[in-house]
Amino acid sequence: MLAAMSDSINGLLPDSLAIHADRAANETDAVVPPIWQTSTFWADSDESFLEKATTPGCDHFYTRTGNPNQTQAAMVVAALEGAEAAVVAGSGMGAITSTILAFAGAGDHVVAQQNLYAGTTSFLSGLATKLGIETTFVDQRDPARIEAAIRPSTRLIVLESPSNPLLRITDLQAVSGIARSRGIVTVADNTFATPVNQRPIEFGIDLVMHSATKYLGGHSDLIAGAVAGTRAYVDRVARVMSETGAILGPFEAWLLLRGMRSLPVRMERHNRNGLAVAQFLTGRAEVAAVHYPGLDEHPQRELAGEQMSGFGGMVSAEFRGGLAAAARFVNSVRLARRAPSLGGVETLVTHPAAMWAKTLEPAQMAEMGIVPGLVRMSIGLEDARDIVADFEQALELVAAAGE
């Protein structure tokens, strides 16, 4: 379940690590690690049983506390993020909630971004408050606001950059500096960027988390999460995961490992296609604003360039015609499909105001900047010309309707 970087892969570059970082955890001669589809492992003596039971992260005892497929996937995540250790989770929400619960309890305070994945916002403002954890949400574009929200009881700062769905950027270095000097733990959701484009640990962030359902898995065929950081911090998170059961099954861990092999190559295309679509949308009269950190027009383009090496496949656009125009666009695309989630090989579009209507209060959505005319696009690996052609015909229908 837990994994540290192995000596045998020291010195490899990230693209190679995606393919080989888990080698030391495959004790068979199969080039592709087999699936350890077992809930439990036998021991040949009382001593060996006890040793396995009391070794943290032992992956040959009971699959809720460890399994070789979890270890292998975690090793690749750790290597890609440049972290000492990582742990995989049953979902991105399993990763984020386990991290929050590992570092905050009753009476503790959390500072979180206002523009944040809605599931994280919902947990912090709902279940977490029932457990006595209070959160202050602030506009993360200004680190001074994060600093101002800190109290003596603040234990954790929850970040996400670029953020879902508005692609806002957080100054990771500035926030980690503010937190470090006060002994506050920082966690950054790196789902949108992926470690190919951004490694928050290099900017002093303590823990990086992922919805591995998205780019890490990359094929829209599994639900998974991951957290990377120092061994000591990851152990704390892993313990919560094991106690709450937020762990990843062996088959999903195997699928995640397979997906990550091609992450660097996929991201090259996502980066190219994301930029091509963002540039195309920028020139369209039906679109009032395009949010993509790689665009020169993005208000935080400079900061994005300092902490990201590519800008990913997530683009969001605000339609001039508001709700009606956004709905017509989403209803009119033919190649792209209307579906939640992101980061897969296929282009997906969603209408966040409709998607989150039952989870977030209208005021919360407004505070987060989710306007009715916003459409979020996960640009896939198709030929960019096909995606642009599809979006163009949908925009023509929006224009024809006078929206």
> How many whole angstroms separate alpha carbon 192 and alpha carbon 203?
17
The least distance separating ligand PLP from the CB of residue 273, rounded to whole angstroms, comes to 18
Cβ-based nearer residue to ligand PLP, 99 or 211? 211
The least distance separating ligand PLP from the CB of residue 93, rounded to whole angstroms, comes to 4
Cβ-based nearer residue to ligand PLP, 147 or 252? 252
DSSP 267-292: HHHHHHHHHHHHHHHHT-TTEEEEE-
Cβ-based nearer residue to ligand PLP, 164 or 197? 164
Lookup: tokens for 327: 């709905």
Cβ-based nearer residue to ligand PLP, 174 or 339? 339
Q: Is 214 a catalytic residue?
A: yes
Could you give the C-alpha distances from 292 to 213, 214, 317, 318, 379, in angstroms and in order?
21, 18, 9, 12, 12
Cβ-based nearer residue to ligand PLP, 208 or 384? 208
Residue 133 is which amino acid? I
The least distance separating ligand PLP from the CB of residue 260, rounded to whole angstroms, comes to 15
Q: Which of 22, 52, 117, 266 is catalytic?
A: 117
Residue nearest to ligand PLP (CB): 92
Q: Which of 199, 214, 236, 376 is catalytic?
A: 214
What residues have CB less than 8 Å from 11, skipping those under 6 apart?
none
Q: How many CB atoms lie within 10 A of CB 91?
A: 19
The least distance separating ligand PLP from the CB of residue 66, rounded to whole angstroms, comes to 21
Q: How many CB atoms lie within 10 A of CB 125?
A: 16
Cβ-based nearer residue to ligand PLP, 176 or 220? 220
> How many whole angstroms separate alpha carbon 248 and alpha carbon 66?
9
Which chain residues interact with ligand PLP by CB under 6 A? 91-93, 117, 119, 160, 164, 189, 191-192, 211, 213, 223, 225
The least distance separating ligand PLP from the CB of residue 9, rounded to whole angstroms, comes to 27
Q: Is 189 a catalytic residue?
A: yes
Q: Which of 62, 64, 272, 338 is catalytic?
A: 64
Cβ-based nearer residue to ligand PLP, 226 or 317? 226
Q: Is 64 a catalytic residue?
A: yes
Q: How many CB atoms lie within 10 A of CB 29?
A: 5
Characterize 100-115 residue by residue with b for buried, 16 or more Cβ atoms within 10 angstroms of its Cβ, and e for exposed: bbbbbeeebbbbbbbb
What residues have CB less than 8 Å from 286, skipping those under 6 apart?
319, 320, 321, 325, 329, 395, 398, 399, 403
Contacts by 390-393, CB closer than 8 A, 24 or more apart = 390/333, 390/334, 390/335, 390/336, 390/347, 391/277, 391/280, 391/281, 391/329, 391/333, 391/336, 392/280, 393/332, 393/334
The least distance separating ligand PLP from the CB of residue 268, rounded to whole angstroms, comes to 21
Q: Is 233 a catalytic residue?
A: no
To which H or E segment does residue 102 belong?
Answer: helix 92-103
The least distance separating ligand PLP from the CB of residue 67, rounded to whole angstroms, comes to 19
Annotated catalytic residues are 64, 117, 189, 214
